[in-house]
Structure 1
Amino acid sequence: MPVITQSFADFPKEHAFRHPMKPGGRESLAHMLMFPEHGIAGFIYPTVLADGHAKGRATLFGPGLKEPIHEQIDEEVAASLNFDNWVSGPLRMAVIEPHKRVDLAWNGERIKFDGHFEALHPPYAFSSHPDGNPPYYGDDRTEQHGRLKATLEVDGRKMNGDGYLVRDHSWGPRIWGLNQHYKWFHATTERCSIHFFEMLSFGRRQVRGFLHQDGVMRHLTEVTYDFTYDDQMMQKTFQATVTDTDGRKVRVDCKAFANIQLEFDPMVYLNEAAVTVEIDGQTGTGWCEFCWNRDYYNFARDYVKLYG
C-alpha cells in the first residue's frame, strides 16, 4: 500500500521554477480553463525544450463558441528566463508565491485572458509516491487545483470567470507513444479535490493520484470508474470512486460540457473533456483526458456504438 514518503507541503520551492534538463527534455505547465457558465473550456500551455525552444499555446473550445480557437507562439528563449516572470509573445506566466499563487495572461489576436490562481492544496508530486514518476513521462510532475479569478475576451466578447483551475507542471522526457492508453482525471469542489493518472504502458498499469478533503491530503490506493462515449468515442459522462491511504472513499460524478480532440504527437490522440462535477452534493469542475494510440482509436471508433 502506498505511504507518504515526504510531506506534500514540504515539496521544495525551487521546483516551481525552470529546471535544467538533459538533451531531449521538455518542461510544460498546463493551465486547464473551465467555464461551464459560458460553455467554454480550454487551456494556456507554455512549454520549453532543453535547447531553449519554447512554445506558448492558448486553446478555447466548447458550445459557447462557433468553432475552436487556437493561438500559438514559437521562439527561442534565453536560459535566464524563468517562471517568476515568463514572457513569450502574448503569454505571461508569473509564479508570485511558489506552489501557492500564479498570475497568468494571454494577449492574442482573438483570445485575451487575465487570471489569478490561488492553490487549494499543496502540489502533488509524483516523486512522493513510492514508485515515483514513470521515467519516460518526466523526471517529475506536480498536479494542483486552485481557485481562479479571471477576465476572458473572445473576439471582443468579454466575460468574467470565478471558479477553479487545474495546473499541471512536468519536466524531463516525454515519450507520448509509450502509453498504449491513459486517463488523466481531475475533479475539484470547494471542499474536495481528486486527481488520478492511470497509465497503461508495456502491459503494466500504473496509477498515481491524491485525495484532498477537509484539509487532509493522501495518496490514492484504489480507483474504480465507469463512463459513456458518444458515437465518436469521446467521453461524455464519468463516474469514479477513489480510496486513499486513510481508507477514505469518495465518489465523483462528472458530465462533459465541452470536448475536443488534440494531436500533439504523431503516435496518439488526446480526447479532452472539460466536465462539471458533483462530490457529496457539492458542485465543481474538472477535466478528463483519454490518450489513445491512433491505430487503436481509428479502428475501435467504428465499433463504439455496438460495443463501447
Structure 2
Amino acid sequence: MTSTQPRHQFSARDDLLHDVSNSGPHARESLLWTAPLPSEQLLVFVYAWREAGRRWGRFLFVGGPDMTRPEFLSFEEDAAFSGDDLDDCTVGGLHVRQPEPLRVAELGFTGEELDLSLRFEGIHEPFSWHDNADGCPDWVADNRFEQSCLVSGQVSLHGRAIDVKASGGHRDHSWGARNWNMLQHWKWINATAEDGRSLHAMIMEVKGQQLINGYINSDGRLCPIVHARAEAELDDRLVHRAVSGRFEDSAGRTMNLECTYAAGWGMPIQHLVLNEIAMSATLDGVPAVAHVELGWPADYVERLCP
C-alpha cells in the first residue's frame, strides 16, 4: 500500500463514528463506496449517512447504460441502525464491516433484485482534503478522507452473476457540516489504472471561485493536487459522454486522464442533479476505470434542456 507523510494523519478511530453535534444545522457523517464496472456497463454506488448524530439513511443504486433509470435503486432516509459502531454494523439492511481500519471495508446486501458482497481494499493511505492548498471548507466537512481502492467480490443483479476481481474503486468518509447550497457546479473524479496509479480530484465552483482538492497516487507516492483542468463532452441533457483532464501535484508530477461513458444514472439530490457515471479510462495511457460525477443545479439543467 502506498504511503506518504501528509500533514493530517488519520487514526483507526477515524474509521468509526464522530461527534458532529457542534457542526450546525447541516451536521452529517457519511460514507461512500463506489465500484465502476465499465466492462459490464454497470456502476455500483453505496452511500450511508447519519444526520445530526441521530437519524440514519442509506441508498444503493446500480446504474446501467440508460442514464434515465437505474438498473436497481433502494433508498431509505430513515433507516434502522444496528451495531456498536462502524466496524461492524447494519444500516437499513446494508451490512458494513471494517476489519482493517483505514484499509479495508466489506459490504453486504441481499434483496430480491440485487445481492452483493464486495471488499474494498485501499491501495494507499487515506488522504485528507486539508492537505490541499484550498483545504477542506467548513461547509464540506470538519474532515474527510478519500482513498483509491481495489474492489473484489460478487454482484448478482436480476439473476445476472458478476465476479469482480481487483477492479478499481473508491471510498470516502466525512464528518461535520455538508451544505450543498454552496455549490454551483463541480466535477468529482476518481480513476484507478491497472498498474496501481490512481487519481482523485474535486473541482468545485463556489461563489464565483474555483476550489481544487485531491491527489495523485503514483510510483509509491501520494501527493496533493495543486493544479487541475478537466473538460467534459456533454450531451443535450448535460450528461458527460467523455472527460479529459490534466493534473499536477505538489511534487511537480503530472497525470493525464481520458475516459468515455459506460454506465450511470442522473441522481436527484435536493435541488441538484448528480450525474454519476462509470467510464472506461486511461491514466497516462495506462488502461483504467473511472467514476466521474458532475453536479448541476436542477433548475439550470431544466432551463437549458427543456
Q: Does the alignment reach a TM-score above 0.5?
A: yes
Contact 1:126 1:208 in 2 (8 A): yes
Counterpart position of 1:214: 219
Paired with 2:177 and 2:71, the residues of 1 have a C-alpha distance of: 29
Is there any run of 5+ residues in structure 2 with no aligned partner, and where?
none
Structure 2 residue 291 is matched with structure 1 residue 287: yes
Contact 2:186 2:202 in 1 (8 A): yes
Cα deviation, 1:234-286, whole Å, max 9, x if unaligned, reads 00101111111111111111111013111121x21111221111123321211
Paired with 1:45 and 1:217, the residues of 2 have a C-alpha distance of: 25
Q: Secondary structure at the match of 2:130?
A: helix
Paired with 1:47 and 1:72, the residues of 2 have a C-alpha distance of: 12
Q: Report the Cα offset of residue 232 of structure 1.
A: 1.4
1:263 aligned partner, one-letter code: P
Structure 2 residue 145 is matched with structure 1 residue 146: no
Counterpart position of 1:270: 274
Paired with 1:170 and 1:198, the residues of 2 have a C-alpha distance of: 17
1:54 aligned partner, one-letter code: W
Cα deviation, 1:43-65, whole Å, max 9, x if unaligned, reads 11111112421112110111399
Q: Report the Cα offset of residue 135 of structure 1.
A: 1.0
Structure 2 residue 183 is matched with structure 1 residue 184: no
Q: Tell me which protein shows more helix as a share of its residues.
A: 1
Q: Report the Cα offset of residue 155 of structure 1.
A: 1.9
Q: Report the Cα offset of residue 178 of structure 1.
A: 1.2
2:241 aligned partner, one-letter code: K
Counterpart position of 2:50: 48
Moved over 2 A (4+): 4-8, 10-13, 63-68, 72-78, 127-132
Paired with 1:67 and 1:184, the residues of 2 have a C-alpha distance of: 20
Q: CA RMSD in A?
A: 2.1
Counterpart position of 1:238: 243
Counterpart position of 2:127: 124
Paired with 2:161 and 2:192, the residues of 1 have a C-alpha distance of: 25
When normalised by structure 2's length, the TM-score is: 0.90
Counterpart position of 1:62: 64
Q: Report the Cα offset of residue 67 of structure 1.
A: 5.0
Q: Matched residues, percent identical?
A: 24
Structure 2 residue 158 is matched with structure 1 residue 159: no
Q: Secondary structure at the match of 1:180?
A: strand
2:243 aligned partner, one-letter code: F
Q: Report the Cα offset of residue 130 of structure 1.
A: 4.3
Paired with 1:113 and 1:64, the residues of 2 have a C-alpha distance of: 21
Corresponding pairs, count: 296
Q: Secondary structure at the match of 2:151?
A: strand
Paired with 2:130 and 2:122, the residues of 1 have a C-alpha distance of: 20
Contact 1:29 1:45 in 2 (8 A): yes
Paired with 2:214 and 2:70, the residues of 1 have a C-alpha distance of: 33
Contact 2:267 2:276 in 1 (8 A): yes
2:163 aligned partner, one-letter code: N
1:173 aligned partner, one-letter code: A
2:261 aligned partner, one-letter code: A
Counterpart position of 1:90: 93
Counterpart position of 2:201: 196
Counterpart position of 1:305: none
Paired with 2:53 and 2:229, the residues of 1 have a C-alpha distance of: 40
Paired with 2:89 and 2:99, the residues of 1 have a C-alpha distance of: 11
Change (3 A) 1:60 1:299: same
2:95 aligned partner, one-letter code: R
